[in-house]
Structure 1
Amino acid sequence: MSKANLSDNKMSATCSLSEELMALLPQTKESFKLDFSEKVEKSVVILLHQARELFYEGKMNECLKTSETIRDYSWEKLNTGTWRDVDKEWRRVYSYGCLLKVLCMCFKTDDIGEAIRVCDMGLLMGASILEDILVKVVNVLQKHLQHGKRPETKIEELSKKKTKSDHTLAPAVKLGTAVPILQCPSLEFFRKNYLVPQKPVILEGIANHWPCMKKWSVDYIQEIAGCRTVPVEVGSKYTDEEWSQRLMTVNEFISKYIMNKNDIGYLAQHQLFDQIPELKQDICIPDYCCLGSGEEDDITINAWFGPAGTISPLHQDPQQNFLAQVLGRKYIQLYSPEESESLYPHETQLLHNTSQVDVENPNLIKFPKFTEASYQSCILNPGQILFIPVKYWHYVRALDISFSVSFWWS
C-alpha cells in the first residue's frame, strides 16, 4: 500500500472516530451543561466555559491547553487531604477536564491508547457527567484501537509455559471444620438456617448460568479490557511494609504479575465493573441479596484478580458478603466474630478490622490465644459462592490464577 493510501486511510479513520464522538455530545454548546455549586472556584468554572467554547468553535489546540490546566488544578484538589473529604463537585470538574482533553486529542492525533488512559483516569478519580459519557467514549475508542497496539507476547504462549507453576497443592480441610455446601437452597431455607443465625455456607448451582463462567479466561479479560488503566495492589498482602498501589493497564498487569512468578500483584477493584460494563454484563447479583434491607443499587460489587499466592490477611467486613469464584481456586478460613479476642486485631484505627496473626504460620509466642480460636475452612472452586456473614473474620489465599467477584450487601 502506498504512503498516500496509508495517509488517506488514517485520515478516514480519524474522521470516522470524530464523527462517532460528536454523536455522543450535546449538539450545541448551550446544551453541554456546566452547572457547579459555589464549592468550585469561579475562575475554574470560567475556564470550563472557555474550554467548551473553544471546542465547539473547533479551536482544538487552545481547548487542549485549557483542558489540561483544568485537569492539573482539579487533580491537586483531589489529592489534598483524605479521599472521603474530596467534594464530588471537584471530581466532576476533573471528569470534564478529562472529557475535553480526550475529545481534542482525538481530533488532533491517532494515539487512541493515551486517550483511553485519560478516560480511565476520569472514571477512576472523577464522577459521572453527561449520563456517563466517559464510559460511552471509551467504548467508541476501543472499537478504533489498532490491533497492532497489543503486546507482542501473546498470553496464550505465556500460559502454556506457566500452567504447572501457577497451580499449587491445596491445604487439607480438616475434618469437622469444613464449610457446608448446599445445592440451590430456597430463599426461605437460606434465610432461616444461614442468614438469620449468621453461619457461613457454600452455595452451588447458583452461578451456572452466569456468562462469565463460560466466557472468562485470562485471554478474554485481556481482549475485553487489556488497554484499560486500573489500580493494582503490589505485594502479596496489604499488611506488608512493601505493599503499594500503582496504575497500569490490564495488559501490563497480566504480563508482569499474572504470568511472572517472581512478582505478586493484585487487581482488587471496587469500580472495575462500572469502569468496564462489558464485564459487568457477564455476572448476576445473587437472588439471596433480596433478603437484605438495602436496595439493589446499594450492593457493592468488587473484582479480585490475581496470581497464585496472593493473600488477603485475616480480616472482617462491615457487610454481608457473597464471594463468587469464577476462575481458579481459593483456600479460605473463617472465624466467628465471637473469636475476635483470640485473633489479635491491629490496634490502629486504619487496620482495626485486620488480625495481626499470620494464619498459616502463626507466631504462637506472640499470639498464644490464637490456638483457642475455632474456625471453618474450605477450598472455593469455580462456580461456587461462599456466604460470609457480616463481621465474620476470613483469611483468603489464591491457589491458582484466580478471579473472584464479591457482593457486599446489607
Structure 2
Amino acid sequence: MGLNLEQIPRVKTLSKADFIKYYLKPQKPVVIEQLTEDWPAYEKWNLEYIRKMAGDQTVPLYDDRPVRHDEGFNQAHAEMKMTDYIDLLLEKPTNFRIFLYNILKEVPALQKDFKFPDIGLKLIKGLPMMFFGGTDSKVFMHFDIDFTNILHFHFHGKKRCIILPPDQSKYLYRVPHSLISREDIDFTNPDFDKWPALKQAQGYVCELNHGEMLYMPEGYWHYMHYLTPGFSISLRSYPRKIKNLGKALYNLLIMRHYDNFMRRRKGQEWIDYKNEQAIVRTHKKLGIKV
C-alpha cells in the first residue's frame, strides 16, 4: 500500500481566466500538456542539445546523501563538465543531480528557446532554474524556502512528481528549522510501520512527459523521481497570500541563519537532534504511540 494520492488533473490547454479561477485562486495543482508547443524548446530541448549549447560549463552536482552539519545551505557534493555529466546520465543510473542551476544566466542563448507564459502569474524574470537527473534518481520531500508559485516544465523523458498541500505538513515528519521531511523516508514505497503518520497524508501525483508543465501552488511539498534521464525548468512567482509571504521572509531572514548558526555551534549533534524531533513532534501532535 502506498500513499493516499490523487491524480493531478490534466488539460491540453487552459485560458488565463480559467487557470486563475480553477487553479491559482483555490491553490490547486494542474498539468498543462501543450503550454510549450509554441516554444523552440519543445522541438530542440534534449540532452544532446544541452551538450551542444552548454557542454563546456562546469556544473554543481548533488546526490542523495543525508544533510551534514559541515555542509552549507545547498552546498554541492561534486562538480563536473556538463558534457561528462550528460555522458553519465545516458550511460547508467546515477544519483547525481543538478539542482537550482541558473544555466540560462550561464548560457544566455538558451533564453531564446522558451517564453514566460501569460497565465495570470507575475513571473520572476531573473530566476528560471534548471534541474537534471538520471534514471531512478530522487529528490527528497521538501518545500521551497520562498513559498513561490511554481510552473515546472519537464523535457527529455519522464518524471514522477508527488506533491502535497502545506496543510499536510503535520503528517510528513518535517525536520524542524528546515524545509525537508526525514530524508530516510522513501515516498515511492513508504514503510507505514516505521512512519505511521504518513497513512493520514493526502496528496497528488502525476507523471510529466516531454514539454508538459506542472503548476505547484505556493508552499506545496514536492518529491521528484526521475523515471528516465531528463531535465526540467521552473519559472516562479512570488506568493500571493500575505501569510505565505510572511513565512517566506521568516525562512529567508531568520530560520536559515539560525539553522546555520546552530550547525556551526553544535555540529552533527544539531542535525541528529532535528531528525529525532521530526519523529517526536509528529507523533506527539497526532497522538501516535509507537
**TM-score bracket for this pair, using the shorter chain length:** 0.7 to 0.9
Which residue of structure 2 lines up, in the alignment, with residue 403 of structure 1? Answer: 231
Which residue of structure 2 lines up, in the alignment, with residue 301 of structure 1? Answer: 128
Taking the aligned partners of 1:335 and 1:306, their CA distance within structure 2 comes to 21
For 1:307, give the aligned amino acid: G
TM-aligned CA deviation for residue 384 of structure 1: 1.0
Alignment of 1:67-82 (within 5 A): none
Q: Deviations over 1:288-313 (max 9, x none)?
A: 2x434xx643x521111221111111
TM-aligned CA deviation for residue 341 of structure 1: 0.3
1:224 pairs, out of 35, 47, 53, with: 53
Taking the aligned partners of 2:7 and 2:94, their CA distance within structure 1 comes to 31
Taking the aligned partners of 1:262 and 1:327, their CA distance within structure 2 comes to 15
Which residue of structure 1 lines up, in the alignment, with residue 194 of structure 2? Answer: 366
For 1:221, give the aligned amino acid: I
Change in Cα spacing, 1:296 to 1:377, as seen in structure 2 (3 Å) is closer
Taking the aligned partners of 1:238 and 1:194, their CA distance within structure 2 comes to 35
Q: Which has the larger radius of gyration?
A: 1
In the alignment, structure 2 segments of 5+ residues that lack a partner are 239-290
For 1:250, give the aligned amino acid: M
Task: Give the strand-richer structure, 1 or 2.
Answer: 2
User: What is the TM-score with the length of structure 1 in the denominator?
Assistant: 0.52
Is 2:108 aligned against 1:277? yes
Change in Cα spacing, 1:323 to 1:239, as seen in structure 2 (3 Å) is farther
Is 2:159 aligned against 1:336? no
Taking the aligned partners of 1:182 and 1:395, their CA distance within structure 2 comes to 22
Contact 1:232 1:265 in 2 (8 A): yes
1:386 pairs, out of 197, 205, 214, with: 214
Contact 2:101 2:131 in 1 (8 A): no
Taking the aligned partners of 2:98 and 2:80, their CA distance within structure 1 comes to 10
Q: Deviations over 1:313-348 (max 9, x none)?
A: 11112210011012111111111111110011112x
TM-aligned CA deviation for residue 377 of structure 1: 0.9
Taking the aligned partners of 2:97 and 2:199, their CA distance within structure 1 comes to 30
Taking the aligned partners of 1:194 and 1:372, their CA distance within structure 2 comes to 24
Alignment of 1:59-208 (within 5 A): 177-208=6-37
SS at match of 2:179: coil
Q: Deviations over 1:103-142 (max 9, x none)?
A: xxxxxxxxxxxxxxxxxxxxxxxxxxxxxxxxxxxxxxxx
Taking the aligned partners of 2:18 and 2:91, their CA distance within structure 1 comes to 44
Taking the aligned partners of 2:211 and 2:102, their CA distance within structure 1 comes to 22
Which residue of structure 1 lines up, in the alignment, with residue 82 of structure 2? Answer: 250
**Higher mean Cα deviation, 373-382 or 359-368?**
359-368
For 1:246, give the aligned amino acid: A
| Higher RCO structure, 1 or 2 (CA under 8 Å, sep 6+) | 2
Which residue of structure 2 lines up, in the alignment, with residue 15 of structure 1? Answer: none
User: What is the TM-score with the length of structure 2 in the denominator?
Assistant: 0.72
Which residue of structure 1 lines up, in the alignment, with residue 274 of structure 2? Answer: none
Which residue of structure 2 lines up, in the alignment, with residue 316 of structure 1? Answer: 143
Q: Runs of 4 or more off by more than 4 Å in structure 1?
A: 240-244
RMSD: 2.4
SS at match of 1:287: coil
Task: Give the helix-richer structure, 1 or 2.
Answer: 1
In the alignment of these two chains, the number of paired residues is: 228
Contact 2:94 2:136 in 1 (8 A): no
Contact 1:307 1:400 in 2 (8 A): yes
For 2:179, give the aligned amino acid: N
Taking the aligned partners of 2:237 and 2:127, their CA distance within structure 1 comes to 7
Taking the aligned partners of 2:172 and 2:89, their CA distance within structure 1 comes to 31
TM-aligned CA deviation for residue 259 of structure 1: 2.9
